[in-house]
C-alpha cells in the first residue's frame, strides 16, 4: 500500500509465505509491477537473483514500453486508494 500511495511501480521477488500471492496480484491483477523470475539458484542456502535478471527488471521498469503502462496503473490505484472516504483513508483517520 505504501508503494501505491507513493505512486511507485514494483519489481517483485517473492520468496515465501504470502509473498508469491501478493506478487501475482501486483503483476497480474492490478498490473503495477513486473516479476523477477525465480530460478532455483541458491548460494550458501539463500535463493539468489543474478545481476542480469535484476538488470533486466530495472531496465524494463525504467526504460521499456511497459514503463508507461505500469505508471498509469499505479497512478490510477493511488488516486483510488487515497481519495476521501476510501476504506484505507478511514483506517488511518478513525483509529
Is there a contact between 12 and 49 (Cβ–Cβ < 8 Å)? no
Res 32: pLDDT: 92
Is there a contact between 49 and 67 (Cβ–Cβ < 8 Å)? no
Please give the residue that has the higher pLDDT: either 22 or 37.
22
Question: What fold, for 2-90?
Answer: Rossmann fold (3.40.50)
Is there a contact between 81 and 1 (Cβ–Cβ < 8 Å)? yes
Tens of pLDDT, residues 31-67: 999 988 766 677 777 777 888 888 988 888 888 778 8
Inter-axis angle of helices 51-62 and 66-81, nearest 10: 70
Where exactly are the structural domains of the chain? 2-90
Alpha helices in the chain (DSSP H): 2-6, 19-24, 51-62, 66-81, 87-93
pTM for the whole thing? 0.66
Amino acid at each position: 500500500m505504501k508503494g501505491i500511495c507513493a505512486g511507485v511501480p514494483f519489481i517483485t521477488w517473492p520468496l515465501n509465505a504470502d509473498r508469491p500471492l501478493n506478487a501475482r496480484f501486483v503483476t497480474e491483477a492490478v498490473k503495477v509491477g513486473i516479476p523477477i523470475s525465480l530460478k532455483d539458484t541458491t548460494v550458501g542456502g539463500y535463493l539468489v537473483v543474478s545481476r542480469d535478471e535484476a538488470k533486466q527488471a530495472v531496465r524494463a521498469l525504467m526504460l521499456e514500453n511497459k514503463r508507461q503502462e505500469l505508471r498509469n496503473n499505479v497512478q490510477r490505484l493511488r488516486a483510488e486508494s487515497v481519495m476521501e472516504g476510501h476504506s484505507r483513508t478511514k483506517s488511518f483517520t478513525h483509529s
